[in-house]
């Protein structure tokens, strides 16, 4: 099956997509994902992509240091350089908050891109710069809510990526103290991990890419991932990370109508499984209820009952 046959193909991605991001993280920044829906555009313009805050008491790595800690000149220079790069060059779908009183702490949110099963999802990461940074990579913790949405994102919060030293890779795939940056790391997580076919991130599955069996398994894996992404969104709404409380997006509803996972075009030749459509329709009620609790009243009446399950030979 060619790349153009994929209804949920990433619009800006190369046909030679790098699989197994844990093994193939590039040593140079990848092209940032800038595809956003029109519904997101105004909100994203109103929310600063990079800003500094005074307190990170809920940060995963808060106990690893204190405000009075003195860091080396090399450490401070590198962190300040990362701040500057992020302030100037963050893509529209990534926002970052750094802490003025604890420069070793940072928090980022990545919006799942169209064309992926992470479409419009919010994925939060806590970052810590160790004392030996940049000789060693930052430490990164994913806010999983106890859910495993990707082979590279564990439910314990571990992020598996060569650039972080949490997966073996060749020299150019690992953290390079004089070259690697926080921007590169965040873009790598978005492009390499939160991609359109996360099933193939698992090394053992890579050999089945483009085979009928592999594509079938990938499709159903992605359907499950999308449902888990909705559950992750609800977790984030119920437990919003500090300084991102206002960062709430309206959930996409097109999937209920049968659009394939992560599809960008409604007129795709391939449809999602009926069971998936029902599961999304049912859980979207929970998602909308959470939005309504947050004051988004216009969403109260947007959902229709899930489609009936018709048992036919073509139901899948």
**Pairing label, strands 50-53, 94-99:** parallel
Q: Which helix (H) or strand (E) holds 79?
A: helix 73-89
Edge-first strand listing for the sheet containing 139-142: 50-53, 94-99, 105-111, 122-128, 139-142
φ/ψ region of 313 (left if φ > 0, alpha if ψ in -120 to 50, else beta) reads alpha
- The catalytic position among 160, 191, 249, 288 is 160
**Residue 31 class from Cβ within 10 Å (0-12 exposed, 13-18 middle, 19+ buried)?**
exposed
156 is catalytic: no
Distance between CA atoms of residues 230 and 284, nearest Å: 8
Distance between CA atoms of residues 153 and 129, nearest Å: 20
Exposure of 302 in the CB half-sphere (CA atoms within 13 A): 21
Q: Token pair for residue 169?
A: 């890779």
For helices 274-293 and 212-238, angle between their N-to-C axes, nearest 10 degrees: 20
- Concatenating the DSSP letter of every residue in 32-78 gives PP----HHHHHHHHHS-SEEEES--TT-TTGGG--TT----HHHHHH
Q: Token pair for residue 112?
A: 């799942």
Q: Who's near 39: CB < 8 A, 6+ residues apart?
A: 249, 250
Q: Which residues are catalytic?
A: 160
């Amino acid at each position: 099956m060619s790349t153009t046959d994929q209804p949920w193909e990433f619009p800006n991605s190369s046909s030679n997509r790098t699989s197994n991001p844990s093994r193939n993280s590039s040593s140079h920044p990848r092209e940032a994902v800038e595809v956003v829906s029109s519904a997101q555009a105004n909100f994203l313009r109103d929310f600063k992509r990079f800003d500094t805050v005074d307190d990170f008491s809920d940060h995963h790595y808060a106990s690893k240091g204190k405000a009075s800690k003195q860091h080396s000149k090399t450490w401070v220079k590198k962190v300040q350089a990362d701040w500057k790069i992020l302030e100037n060059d963050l893509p529209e779908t990534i926002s970052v908050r750094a802490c003025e009183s604890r420069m070793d702490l940072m928090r980022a949110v990545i919006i799942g891109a169209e064309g992926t099963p992470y479409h419009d999802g919010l994925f939060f990461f806590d970052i810590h710069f160790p004392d030996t940074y940049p000789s060693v990579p930052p430490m990164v913790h994913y806010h999983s809510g106890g859910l495993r949405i990707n082979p590279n994102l564990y439910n314990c919060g571990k992020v598996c990526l060569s650039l972080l030293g949490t997966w073996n890779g060749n020299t150019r795939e690992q953290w390079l103290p004089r070259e690697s940056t926080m921007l590169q790391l965040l873009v790598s997580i978005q492009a390499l991990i939160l991609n359109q076919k996360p099933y193939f991130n698992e090394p053992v599955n890579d050999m089945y890419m483009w085979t009928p069996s592999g594509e079938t398994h990938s499709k159903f894996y992605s359907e499950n991932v999308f449902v888990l992404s909705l559950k992750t969104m609800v977790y984030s709404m119920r437990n919003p990370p500090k300084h991102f409380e206002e960062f709430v997006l309206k959930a996409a509803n097109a999937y209920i109508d049968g659009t394939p996972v992560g599809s960008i075009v409604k007129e795709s030749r391939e449809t999602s499984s009926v069971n998936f459509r029902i599961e999304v329709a049912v859980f979207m009620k929970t998602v909308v209820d959470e939005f309504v609790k947050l004051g988004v009243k216009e969403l109260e009446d947007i959902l229709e009952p899930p489609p009936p399950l018709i048992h036919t030979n073509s139901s899948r």
